[in-house]
Chains A and B, each alone.
Chain A
Amino acid sequence: MIDQRRIVNAIMTVTTAACAFAVVALLLLILGYISYQGISSISWQFLVETPKPVGEGGGIGNAIVGSLILLGLASAVGIPVGIAVGTYLSELGSGWFGKTVRFVADTMIGVPSIVFGVFVYGLVVVRQGYFSTLAGSLALALIMIPIVSRTTEEMIRLVPDTMREGALALGAPRWRVTLDIVLPAAMAGIATGAMLAIARVLGETAPLLFTAFGSRFYNIYLDEPMASLTVQIYHYAISPFEEWHAKAWAATLVLITLILGINILVRIVTRRRY
C-alpha cells in the first residue's frame, strides 16, 4: 500500500515538474523568438523618436508615452471599480443581484475587445466627432473591470473568516474590517489580477483602433488621437517591409519590458504596504 502511494506521489511530482518545465520552455521560446527578431532594432533613437517612413529609421517614443497615458487613465478607473465590484461580490453579493452581476462579469470577460471598441466608438467618438485619448482609455477601462473584479472576488473569498470574525468581535465596523483587514490580506492576489488586467489591455489593439486611433506625433492632449504601442506594432507588423517587421518585434520587446517594470513596481508597493 505504502509503496503504491509513494510511487503515485513520485509520478505526480515528476509530471507536474515536467509540465512546468515544458510550459516554461515554451514561454521562453516565444520570448526568445521575439528578442531574436527585435533586439537588433532597439536603440536610443528607437525609444525616443516618432515613427518615420520605411528606410529612414524612426521610433516608438510617442507610442510608449501614449500607451502609458492610456493605461494610466484606464487603470485609474478600471482597477478601483473592479476591486469594488469584486469586494461587493465576495462580501455582500450572495443574493440574486450578486449572482447576476457575477455572471454578467464572467460573460464580459469573453466579449472580444473589438466589441468594446465599437461600443465606445458609437457612444463617444461619433457623438464628439473626433477620436480621443479619453475614448481609448474608456474602452480599456471597460475591459479591465470584469478581469479585476473576478480575481479580487476569488482572492477575498480565500481570506479566512476567522480574520473577519476576530476584527468584528473587537467592535470594528464592517467597512473598516473590509478595508483594513480583508483587502490587505488579499492584496497579493488582487495585485496579480490588476497585473493581468494591465497586461491584457497593454496588449490590446482592437479597442484602440477606433477610439484612441493613433498618431505619429507626441501628444499629451486627452481630446486628440493618441499613439499606442500596440497600434504601432500592428501597423509595423502588417507592412511588407523587413525593417518594419523588426520594429514590430522590437516594440513588442519594449512592451514586455514595460509590463515587467510595472509588475515589479506593483509587487514592491503591495508587499511593502501590507
Chain B
Amino acid sequence: MAAKPSKILTGDNVFSTVLMLCAASVLLIAVSMVIVMTESSWLSIREFGLGFLVGQVWDPVKGEFGALPFIWGTIMSSLLALVIAVPLSIAVAVFLVEQAPKSVARPLGFLVELLAAIPSVVYGLWAIFVLAPILRVHVQPALQAVLGWLPFFQGTITGIGMLTGGVVLAIMITPIITAVTRDVLEAVPVTQREASLALGATKWETTRIVLSNASSGIAGAVILGLGRAIGETMAVTMVIGNRPQISVSLFDPAYSIASVIANEYTEATGDLYLSALTEMGLILFIVTFGVTALAKLLIMSVANRNTPRH
C-alpha cells in the first residue's frame, strides 16, 4: 500500500477523521441493529437458550421454535447458488473484458446491470411460471436418471425445492458478480497483458494471470453476491417449498432464514412468536458472518496458490 499519511498537515487530519467517522457509522449501525434485535428477541433467547439453534421444530401455534432447518436451508441454498453463479459470472466477465469487442461488450454490460434491478417478487413469479416447470420436466428427470445414485438427486420431482431455489438465486446474483468482476478485470493494467503476451503466453494463459492478479477484487464481487443470496427472500420463498426440514436431496423442499422472517413477520402476533422471529434475524447475522469468513478464506487460499500477492 501507499506511504503512511503525514500527521502534520491539518488537511490530512480532517480528511482522515471524516473518513473514519463514516467508517465508524457503519459499525454504529451494525451494533445498534444487533442491540435492538437482541433486546427484542430476549424473550425467546431466555426461553429456548442454545436449544433454539439446534431445535428442528417450528410450530408457532404451539409456541415451539427451532432454527436448525432454516440455518441448513440458508447455507445450502446460498452455496448452491455460488457454485453455479461464480464460474458463470467469471466466464461472462472474462468474455466481456478479454474477448468481446467493445461494441458488443458495452451493451451486454448494460444488460447485466439492468438485471440486478428486477424486483425479487418478479424473479419469484417468473421462477414459478417458467423456471420451475422447465426444471421439473427437463432438468430434474435427467439429473435423476444419470446421477440418481447420489443422495442429492433422490425423491419426488415437483419442480419446487432446494434446487429451484438455488438456481433462482444463482440467476439473481450472476449480474452482481459479473458487473463487479468485469470492472475489476478492466482495472488490471494493460501492460500486464502485453508483457505476458510478449513472452509468448496464449490468450488464456494471459487471462489466468489477469484473473489471479484480480483475485482480491473478485473475492469482493463474490461476497457481494453471497450477501444477496443469503438475504434474498421473495424470489427464494416462491420456489423453495418453505418446509423446515433437513434433507440432503436437492429435490426436496427446504426453507431459509430470510424467507421465514419475510413470510411470517408481518402476520405474527404474540410476544414469544415475534421474539423468536427477531432471533432468527440475529442468527442470520451470525450465519452471514460465518459464511462470509469461510468464503473469504476459500477465495484467498485459491488466490494464494496461484500467485502470492505483493
Taking the complex as a whole, does A directly touch B, i.e. does some CB pair lie under 8 Å apart? yes
Write the residues of chain A forming the contact surface with B, with a CB cutoff of 8 angstroms.
5-6, 8-9, 12-13, 15-17, 19-20, 22-24, 26-28, 30-31, 33-34, 81, 84-85, 87-89, 91-94, 97-98, 100-101, 103-115, 118-119, 122-123, 142, 145-147, 149-151, 153-155, 157-161, 164-165, 168, 173-176, 178-179, 186, 188-189, 192-193, 195-196, 198-200, 202-206, 209-210, 230, 233-234, 237, 248-249, 252, 255-256, 259-260, 263-264
Q: Give the distance in Å from the alpha carbon of A263 to the alpha carbon of B229 in the complex.
A: 23
Q: Are the CB atoms of A92 and B217 closer together than 8 Å?
A: no
Q: Are the CB atoms of A164 and B100 closer together than 8 Å?
A: no
Residues of B with C-beta under 8 A to A158:
184, 187-188, 214, 217
Q: Are the CB atoms of B15 and A178 closer together than 8 Å?
A: yes
Q: Are the CB atoms of B1 and A161 closer together than 8 Å?
A: yes
Interface string of B284-298 (1 = CB under 8 A from A): 110011011100100
Interface of A is mostly: helix
Q: Give the distance in Å from the alpha carbon of A54 to the alpha carbon of B88 in the complex.
A: 42
> 9 pairs across A/B with beta carbons < 8 Å?
A6-B202, A84-B18, A103-B293, A109-B228, A113-B231, A118-B265, A158-B187, A195-B179, A202-B117
Write the residues of chain B forming the contact surface with A, with a CB cutoff of 8 angstroms.
1-3, 5-6, 9, 11-12, 14-16, 18-20, 22-27, 29-30, 33, 36-37, 40, 87-89, 91-92, 94-96, 98-100, 108, 110-123, 125-126, 130, 171, 174-176, 178-180, 182-184, 186-189, 202-205, 207, 214, 216-217, 220-221, 223-224, 226-234, 257-258, 261-262, 265-266, 278, 281, 284-285, 288-289, 291-293, 296
Partner of A26, one of B116, B171, B203: B171
Q: Are the CB atoms of A203 and B120 closer together than 8 Å?
A: yes
Q: Are the CB atoms of B281 and A5 closer together than 8 Å?
A: no
Residues of A with C-beta under 8 A to B220:
150-151, 153-154
Given contacts A92-B20, A237-B121, contact A196 B113 (CB under 8 A): yes
Q: Give the distance in Å from the alpha carbon of A15 to the alpha carbon of B94 in the complex.
A: 11
Residue of A nearest to B115 (CB): A27
Q: A-B contact count, CB below 8 Å?
A: 314
Given contacts A26-B171, A108-B29, A206-B234, contact A175 B15 (CB under 8 A): yes
Residue of A nearest to B256 (CB): A112
Residues of A with C-beta under 8 A to B265:
114, 118
Given contacts A34-B122, A115-B281, contact A192 B113 (CB under 8 A): yes
Beyond known contacts A110-B288, A173-B12, A256-B117: 11 more, CB 8 A cutoff: A22-B88, A26-B171, A84-B18, A107-B285, A109-B223, A109-B227, A122-B36, A146-B26, A173-B6, A189-B186, A193-B180
Partner of A111, one of B115, B202, B226, B285: B285
Residues of B with C-beta under 8 A to A5:
202, 205
Smallest CB–CB gap between A233 and chain B, Å? 6
Q: Are the CB atoms of A31 and B115 closer together than 8 Å?
A: yes
Given contacts A155-B187, A196-B176, contact A111 B121 (CB under 8 A): no
Q: Are the CB atoms of A112 and B33 closer together than 8 Å?
A: no
Q: Give the distance in Å from the alpha carbon of A15 to the alpha carbon of B258 in the complex.
A: 35
Q: Give the distance in Å from the alpha carbon of A271 to the alpha carbon of B12 in the complex.
A: 28
Q: Are the CB atoms of B91 and A27 closer together than 8 Å?
A: no
Among all A-B residue pairs, the 8 with the closest Cβ atoms: A109-B227, A175-B15, A19-B91, A110-B288, A199-B117, A20-B95, A110-B227, A84-B22
